[in-house]
Amino acid sequence: MQPKKFSIGIDIGGTNTTSGIVNRHGEILVEEHIKTADYATPAHFVKAIKACLESHINHFGRDEIKGIGAGAPNANYYTGEIQPAPNLPWKEVIPLRQLLEDAFDLPATITNDANASAIGEMTYGAAKGMKNFIMITLGTGLGSGFVANGQLIYGHDGFAGELGHVIAVRDGRLCNCGRRGCLERYSSATGIVLTAHEMLEASTEDESTMPENWLLPIYKGGAEITSSGIHKAALEGDPTATAIFDFTGRILGQTLADAVAYTSPQAIILFGGLAKAGDFILEPTKKYMEENLLSIYKNKIDIIPSGLSERDAAILGAAALAWE
Amino acid sequence: MQPKKFSIGIDIGGTNTTSGIVNRHGEILVEEHIKTADYATPAHFVKAIKACLESHINHFGRDEIKGIGAGAPNANYYTGEIQPAPNLPWKEVIPLRQLLEDAFDLPATITNDANASAIGEMTYGAAKGMKNFIMITLGTGLGSGFVANGQLIYGHDGFAGELGHVIAVRDGRLCNCGRRGCLERYSSATGIVLTAHEMLEASTEDESTMPENWLLPIYKGGAEITSSGIHKAALEGDPTATAIFDFTGRILGQTLADAVAYTSPQAIILFGGLAKAGDFILEPTKKYMEENLLSIYKNKIDIIPSGLSERDAAILGAAALAWE
């Protein structure tokens, strides 16, 4: 029997859900989008995804489709359920795998979005051929997937890889999880904005002498400070923006130095909105990680940007789950 | 062909080296001891181990022996070498696997002592049947082995699992590794003595009113404070000793709460000299770990003492390597 040619990938986000059909080379053949919050129940939501894909499945041939992979916040690989997720419109435990299998009559696998990204990166991206790496998604929060011995570490209950909730600063900033000092309160799109607010609030400099596209004049003018705005200001030579990236990279680099001592990876792959700032975030992260590494790990571990485009990564990661 | 019945386990420590022949049920059939530092070179050392075991090997039958497993400080599973180890008498890189294979004409596998303990615990001890757990050895230092998906995590280069060198207290106590705040400077036989010195030095209490087997009178009398001495004082109701265990368990528990977020284990197994203090160390470790856990991990993870006697664990762990 020939191996099946296609798989279905579904990336479920708080705002948008993207689904598509992918081949074994990582080419996305069709892609469909719906708004996650438009649906009153998970069952209606799954029905809508099916409606989007039905004609494509018939076109490519149902018998040629290996299965469905879905990445979603708080999705558990073992149980097939989504635990109550603050970012999703439905607050109950969602039996997503079962809903998908019933709707599509195909085998389904689900995992959280960070793990899906790690599998996508290993199957199609920057981690191709790697057996030990850490995948980090610097989005609204900080997600992570740890691969060791060529396998994703799910842990006993499917909840491994919560690097975003490792304590980076003891008694530090209050996190949504109710604890203090979690890494994602510092090193994420949300975290860098918190740092910017702290630094800008504490600034004693005179903004009237600065170019208007620097952060202090923007902040004093009452405009919103965003992760991409900080990147723009850094590109304009704003030293405050550079200092904000330096601090963000310091906290991330220090924590990664510890993360390395757990799994001794070949590489750490950075992905997500904040990673788009390129060297502004990569350089301080590398520098502080190296400074803090135990000597046996020094000068060995690459920190590299994702090999997949932001647009494609989530759906490829989800689709890659179905090949496993 | 029948599976072979025996394996050879070798536990190499800075002071003593124990070797023996073990069966598949974890029974140690013979055991031999030599002093590690008595031998000028690693080759002489391996020759001495062979001389100890030769007649036993002939007795049990060379053809019935599956292979050799050895645990040693800084031993690397992948390269088969011991990296320069502060606790060993020889300062060069030691091609231990090759030396063993040449001397015995049997296949050999080596790993560091903490990883060997993890494999021993999984094969014969408290982690039998577990696929995800963390093994922690609280000895002179703090060693660790992480098992995920039923496999030991060696990492890209064989150096994974250095929990003793995760930063538990940022800018904390100076460690032998040259960095500050490593977990093993707090939570190990060495670390608890450092804590005792700090607390006793800072004490403003009057030791003359205390029982003479409490720590402050012992310390003021100029006697050495040891890990087992702190345990004894705690048994005598010394509140300072209890406070020392509480602090040691707090630092360990906080760090374990982070460790759980990496690999989401079913259990954490404690072994080694300091673990012998039983509930004095287990209770605060559990308490502070639970207090610091992300909610999805709360009340799920057992912290349990090793299922193997201290005397047997190292050699069983080493021998278990040979079955893999």
pLDDT of residue B38: 96
CA distance B137 to A110: 36
Closest CA to B215 of B229, B198, B201, B235: B229
> Who's near B127: CB < 8 A, 6+ residues apart?
B118, B121, B133, B135, B147, B267, B269, B307
Per-position DSSP letters for B112-180, written without gaps between them: -HHHHHHHHHHHHSTTTT-SSEEEEEESSSEEEEEEETTEE---TTS----GGGSBSSTT-SB-TTS-B
CA distance A12 to A14: 7
Q: A295 vs B178: CB contact, 8 Å cut-off?
A: yes
Report the topology of domain A6-121+312-323: Nucleotidyltransferase; domain 5 (3.30.420)
Q: Taking residues B141-155, what's their average pLDDT?
A: 95
Establish, for the pair of chains A and B, how many residue pairs have beta carbons separated by less than 8 Å.
Answer: 133
Predicted confidence (pLDDT) at residue B13 exceeds the cutoff of 70: yes
Confidence of residue B1 (pLDDT cuts 50, 70, 90): low
- CA B68, distance to chain mean position in Å, is 20
pLDDT tens for each residue of B264-297: 999 999 998 899 999 999 999 999 999 999 999 9
CB A186 within 8 A of CB A171: no
pLDDT tens for each residue of A93-116: 999 999 999 999 999 999 988 899
Confidence of residue B173 (pLDDT cuts 50, 70, 90): very high
CA of A261 to nearest chain B CA: how many angstroms apart? 5
pLDDT tens for each residue of B98-121: 999 999 999 999 998 889 999 999
pLDDT of residue B292: 97
* A78 inside 8 A of chain B by CB: no
* B79 inside 8 A of chain A by CB: no
Place of tokens 């250095």: B162
Return residue ranges of chain A for CATH 3.30.420.40.
6-121+312-323, 128-306
* Assigned token pair, B323: 């079955």
pLDDT of residue A311: 75
> Who's near B215: CB < 8 A, 6+ residues apart?
B196, B200, B225, B229, B230, B233, B238, B240, B241, B244
CB A297 within 8 A of CB A262: no
pLDDT of residue A1: 65
State which amino acid sits at residue A204: T
In CATH, the architecture of A128-306 is 2-Layer Sandwich (3.30)
pLDDT tens for each residue of A114-164: 899 999 999 999 999 999 999 999 988 999 999 999 999 999 999 999 999
pLDDT tens for each residue of B290-320: 999 999 999 999 999 998 887 788 899 999 9
Q: B149 vs A146: CB contact, 8 Å cut-off?
A: no
* A104 inside 8 A of chain B by CB: no
Residues of chain B in contact with residue A167, where contact means CB-CB under 8 angstroms, are 254, 257-258, 292
Q: A179 vs B132: CB contact, 8 Å cut-off?
A: no
Return residue ranges of chain B for CATH 3.30.420.40.
6-121+312-323, 130-306
Q: Which of A264, A295, A298 to mutate to test the interface with B (most CBs of B within 10 A)?
A: A264
Report the topology of domain B130-306: Nucleotidyltransferase; domain 5 (3.30.420)
Residue in chain B lying closest to A291 (CA): B179
Residue ranges, chain A, pLDDT below 70? 1
Q: A294 vs B177: CB contact, 8 Å cut-off?
A: yes
State which amino acid sits at residue B172: G
Q: B264 vs A149: CB contact, 8 Å cut-off?
A: no
CB B319 within 8 A of CB B20: yes
Residue in chain A lying closest to B261 (CA): A162
A68: left (phi over 0), alpha (psi -120 to 50) or beta: beta
CA of A62 to nearest chain B CA: how many angstroms apart? 33
